[in-house]
Amino acid sequence: MRISSNQQFQQGIDALLRQQAKLAETQEQLATGNRILTPSDDPAASTQLIKLSALSAANQQFDRNIVFAQNDVDLSESKLKSAGDIIQRVRELVVQANNATNSDQSRSAIATEIENNLYSMRDLANSKDATGDYLFSGFNATTKPFVKEGSGYVYKGDQGERFLQIADGIQIQVRDTGTEIFQKIRNGDGRLRVAIPDSNQGSALVNLESTVTSLVGTYSIEFFEEENEPLHYRVLNEDGEAVVGATLYEPDQQVSFNDINVSVSGSPVAGDKIEIEPSEFQDVFTTLQLLVDKLKAPIASAPPNSLSNHLTQSLQEMDLVLDKFLSVRSSLGSRLQELDTAKGQNADEDLRLQRSVGALKDLDYAEAVSRLNMQMTGLQAAQQAYVKVQGLSLFNFL
């Protein structure tokens, strides 16, 4: 085949240029450490990289959210711990107050201390977070949740619970409402409560323990005396039907019916009644306020043993408050645990993402360096060949 001199020259030059272009690309790969310089180098991997870096950014945000959530939950937890301490102290005071040797004055002192604890409890319930929002007012973050209206405390917040997103599709509750923590606490023994009318003349001491599972109506234990008969009692339901018929009263009487146990001691007199009602939600402030009011009243003005009966029931109610706080705290604890787990998973996920990014994007240096060497050798050879071939000419011999 005939080859023109121009062609020979051009082909040599083209070969050099091609080698140089390849060398330059390898050089840039080595300089940046990236295998992919533009999307066309590997379109599929480029798309993956964009998705991976988006995932990684989302992950970092989830990490931030988790820290926020941890702070929030921690804060609630510490507030509830303090609240529990307050109730413990009040419980001790109630035990102390439930002692016949106390004078009106010492009871009043106890009442004052309980009142102070009530204020502490109110302040706790009205706690703010780092940004100045109320912790326990639901979504009404800027509304003070518990304020005194009349004789009791009113909840001004709502029942909104704040969640934060800690992973794709996973939200975790970080705030509990004042309603949930401080209001939704049952009085009495949690199922039923005892109400002793002020009209009672006797000095019955009442202690209620029930194991009812479903809601029951109201009952009334009535004491009565027939002519020349000793003291009897009977139990009537809300329709006036006898649940327990006329039974002779003996001191330390156990009255049992429908899974309800009422132990009655002391000396009831005919005409006395003991009302048993379904328990209701009673916020912790009302519970404490009632205690304070009872303790402040001079004992002489009240029916005998009425204070003692109230304190007995209060002790049950203190336990219910503590139960409530503990249950919320254990929920908070499990959330903290969940957050820890999520954080760990996030870190793992991040590592996995980094690894994937590396696998897609990072240059295999060993391969690239050996390729560089090969290309340099190739270029050198092309240069030498070019010079040699171009030196060949018949004119050299003329």
Partner 1 sequence: MADALQIGTSGLLAFQRGLTTTGHNISNASTEGYSRQSVTLGTREPGLIDGNYLGTGVAVKGIARSYSNFLAEDLRVGTSSLGQFEEAAEMAARLDNLMADQDRGLSSQIERFFSALQDVGNNPTSIPERQVLIGESGALAEQFHQLDGAFNALNSQVNDKLSLYVDEINQHAQSIAELNVAIGYARAVSTAGAEPNDLLDERDRVLLKLSKLVSVNVIEQDAGVANVLIGNGQPLVIGGVAETIGLNIGEFDPSIQRLTYQRSNGTTTNITNFLTGGALQGLVDFRDNMLNSSRQQLGLLASGMSEVVNAQHGLGVDLKGNLGGDVFVPFEAETIENIYNRGSAKSATQIADISLVQATDYQATYNGAAWDVKNLKSGEVTVGNGLMAIDGLEIEFSGEPVYGDSFLIRPNYRAADYFDVAIQAPADVAAASPLKFSGSLANSGTAEVESLVVNSRSDLPLDNPFTLTFDNSFGEEGLPGYVVTGGPGGFLPFDPAADFAGKTFQLEGFGDAEIRLSGKPVDGDVVNIERNTEGTGDNQNLHALTELRTKNSLLGKSTSLQDIFALSVSDVGIRTRQSQLSLETQEVLTGQAENAYKAKSAVNLDEEAANLLRYQQAYSAAAKVITVADEMFDILLSTLR
Question: Interface residues with partner 1 (CB under 8 A)?
Answer: 1-7, 37-44, 46-47, 49-51, 53-54, 57-58, 60-61, 64-65, 68, 131-134, 137-143, 158-160, 162-165, 168-169, 171, 175, 179, 183-184, 215, 278, 280-281, 393-395, 398
Query: Measured from the CB of residue 2, what is the shortest distance to partner 1 in angstroms?
Result: 5
Query: Measured from the CB of residue 3, what is the shortest distance to partner 1 in angstroms?
Result: 6
Q: How far apart are CA 336 and CA 278, in angstroms?
A: 36
Q: How far is CA 356 from CA 16, 367, 390, in A?
A: 37, 19, 50
User: What is the DSSP annotation of 36-80?
Assistant: -SSGGG-HHHHHHHHHHHHHHHHHHHHHHHHHHHHHHHHHHHHHH
Query: Measured from the CB of residue 154, what is the shortest distance to partner 1 in angstroms?
Result: 11
Tokens at residue 297, please? 């009243």
Query: Measured from the CB of residue 139, what is the shortest distance to partner 1 in angstroms?
Result: 4
| 271 φψ region: left (φ > 0), alpha (ψ -120 to 50), beta (else) | left
CB nearer to partner 1: pick between 131 and 199: 131
Query: Measured from the CB of residue 187, what is the shortest distance to partner 1 in angstroms?
Result: 12
Q: How far apart are CA 321 and CA 276, in angstroms?
A: 21
Pairing of strands 152-155, 146-149: antiparallel
* Pair 30, 386: CB distance under 8 Å: no
Query: Measured from the CB of residue 58, what is the shortest distance to partner 1 in angstroms?
Result: 6
CB nearer to partner 1: pick between 370 and 390: 390
CB nearer to partner 1: pick between 196 and 332: 332
Query: Measured from the CB of residue 301, what is the shortest distance to partner 1 in angstroms?
Result: 32
Q: How far apart are CA 128 and CA 154, in angstroms?
A: 18
Q: How far apart are CA 195 and CA 207, in angstroms?
A: 11
Query: Measured from the CB of residue 27, what is the shortest distance to partner 1 in angstroms?
Result: 17
Query: Measured from the CB of residue 342, what is the shortest distance to partner 1 in angstroms?
Result: 14
CB nearer to partner 1: pick between 65 and 313: 65
CB nearer to partner 1: pick between 47 and 254: 47
- Among residues 87, 44, 73, 53, the alpha carbon closest in space to that of 323 is found at 87
Residue 237 forms beta bridges with which residues? 219
Q: How far apart are CA 190 and CA 202, in angstroms?
A: 26
CB nearer to partner 1: pick between 52 and 94: 52
CB nearer to partner 1: pick between 37 and 381: 37
CB nearer to partner 1: pick between 126 and 137: 137
Q: How far apart are CA 56 and CA 353, in angstroms?
A: 7
* Pair 252, 204: CB distance under 8 Å: no
The helix or strand, by DSSP H or E, that contains position 21, with its residue range, turns out to be: helix 5-32
CB nearer to partner 1: pick between 95 and 389: 389
Q: How far apart are CA 146 and CA 267, in angstroms?
A: 41
Q: At what angle do helices 104-125 and 284-296 cross, to 10 degrees?
A: 160
Angle at 206 between CA 201 and CA 210, to 5 degrees: 140
Q: How far apart are CA 221 and CA 208, in angstroms?
A: 12
Query: Measured from the CB of residue 48, what is the shortest distance to partner 1 in angstroms?
Result: 8
CB nearer to partner 1: pick between 140 and 308: 140
Query: Measured from the CB of residue 70, what is the shortest distance to partner 1 in angstroms?
Result: 11
CB nearer to partner 1: pick between 36 and 264: 36
| 233 φψ region: left (φ > 0), alpha (ψ -120 to 50), beta (else) | beta
User: What's the one-letter identity of residue 91?
Assistant: R
